[in-house]
Structure 1
Amino acid sequence: MQTEKVIDHIVNWLKDYANNAKVNGFVIGISGGIDSAVTSILCAKTGLEVLCIEMPIHQPKSHVSRGQEHIKQLKKDFPNVKNSLVDLTPVFDQFKAEVSIIEKQATVDMALANTRARLRMTTLYYYAGLHGLLVAGTGNKIEDFGIGFYTKYGDGGVDLNPIADLMKSEIYDLAKVLGVSNSIIKAAPSDGLFGDERSDETQIGASYPELEWAMTMKENGNTAKDFEGRKREVFELFSKLNRNNQHKMIPIPICEIPKSLK
């Protein structure tokens, strides 16, 4: 990959899109992870207004410190960057106190994890509306189009996504050129939706390199019968997640009324 040319292409794309939309710039949630770090730098390089928002909800200290470290460096490098801290923990706790929690614990945990993402989406759009900004997404190609590893109308609710055509490995390539801190580059990828240190790999059951391999094999027309052992296991896992999460990746189903009934 021609990393520097890809960076220039994305920055120009962001700038053109924002100018055509007649907005002031971008708002982005900063998690302390590599995807939001790379996306925020790409947005900052446009020269347009960039608002970075931290939205902790019982976050691990390591996530918070990495995010704050990144924002500090970003503001030092780009005068067009501002930041805000919105502690959503009290809002989340109040929500939990008001809803019924009588189902199986695993079901409740997942529902609450998705609620965290949707509270953050609401916050980002609030600030976007206040300041005339676009909400920039941070999902990579594996997450957005491979296994659907995001929350519908949560972190999947964005105006545009500059990195959704890049594999996770390519995100790391961009991060090194863009000067993302080593603490973020070396950190295990995590969606931060459960209030602990669990990694994406733990949740998914496969690493990003494995998932990238499976996505490439599937696009090449391979089937599970072509592999054995761990490769077959990963390929089947990818295929299952891709199939089960199609509802996130395709347009909302619309019941079309026959003209004869209108």
Structure 2
Amino acid sequence: MQADKVVDYIVNWLKEYATNAKMNGFVVGISGGIDSALTSTLCAKTGFPTLCVEMPIHQAQSQVSRGREHIAQLKERFPNVSSLEVDLTPFFETFKTAVPDASDNDNLFLSLANARARMRMTTLYYFAGLHKYLVAGTGNKVEDFGVGFYTKYGDGGVDLSPIADLMKSEVYQLAATVNVPQSILQAKPTDGLWGDDRTDEDQIGASYDQLEWAMLQDEIGKIDSDFEGEEKRVFSLYKKLNNANQHKMLPIPVCKIPVHLHK
């Protein structure tokens, strides 16, 4: 990949989109991870106002520290960058007391994790509305179009997706090119939605390198029977997640009423 040229291409794409949409800038949720660090840096490089928002909810201190380090570095480099921290922990705790008790439901923890992501989306759109900014998505190609590893209407609720055509390995390439802090480049990817130290690999069951491989094999028409051992396990896992999460990747189904019923 020609990293410098790809950076310039994405930055120009962002500038053109914001200009044509008659919007004033960008807002990005900062997690302390590689994807949000790259996205916010690309937005900052446009010269448009870029608001970085930290939204901790019982967040691990390591994630908070990395996010703050990145924002501090970004503000030193770009005068158009500003930041806010909105502690959503009280909001999250109030929400848990407002809904009926579901402590015996096996889906409780996943539902709460997704609720965190949706609270953050609501917060980003609040600031986007105040300032006439665009919410910049931070999902990469493997997450958004491979295994669907994101929350529908959470981190999937965005106005535009500048890095969604980049594999995770390419995200790392570009992040190094734009000088994202080493602490973020070296950290294990995590969505930070569970209040513990589980990584993306722990949740998915395969590394991003493995998922990239499986995605490429699927794109060239390979099937389960083409593989054995660990390769077969990873490919089967990829296909299972890809199929299960098509509802995130395809347009919302619309019930089309037959013409004769309108008469």
The two structures share one fold, judged by TM-score above 0.5? yes
Taking structure 1 as the reference length, what is the TM-score of the superposition? 0.99
Partners in 1 of 2:25 and 2:210 — Cα distance?
Answer: 35
Partners in 1 of 2:199 and 2:103 — Cα distance?
Answer: 25
Q: How far did 1:195 drift?
A: 1.0
Partners in 2 of 1:245 and 1:179 — Cα distance?
Answer: 33
Taking structure 2 as the reference length, what is the TM-score of the superposition? 0.99
Aligned to 1:252: 252
Aligned to 2:76: 76
Aligned to 2:228: 228
Name structure 2 gaps, 5 residues minimum.
none
Query: What residue identity is the alignment partner of 2:257?
Result: I
For the Cα contact (< 8 Å) 1:34–1:184, is it kept in 2? yes
Q: Deviations over 1:5-32 (max 9, x none)?
A: 0000000000000000001110000000
For the Cα contact (< 8 Å) 1:26–1:133, is it kept in 2? yes
Query: What residue identity is the alignment partner of 2:11?
Result: V
Aligned to 1:140: 140
Q: Matched residue pairs, number?
A: 262
Q: How far did 1:196 drift?
A: 1.2
Query: What residue identity is the alignment partner of 1:6?
Result: V
Name structure 1 gaps, 5 residues minimum.
none
For the Cα contact (< 8 Å) 1:101–1:108, is it kept in 2? no
For the Cα contact (< 8 Å) 1:137–1:156, is it kept in 2? yes
Aligned to 1:242: 242
Q: How far did 1:80 drift?
A: 0.1
Q: Deviations over 1:164-214 (max 9, x none)?
A: 000000000001111011100010000000011110000000000000000
Q: Deviations over 1:220-258 (max 9, x none)?
A: 100010000000000000000000000000000000011
Q: How far did 1:106 drift?
A: 4.1
Aligned to 1:109: 109
- Is residue 100 of structure 2 the alignment partner of residue 85 of structure 1? no
Partners in 1 of 2:204 and 2:36 — Cα distance?
Answer: 20
Q: CA RMSD in A?
A: 0.7
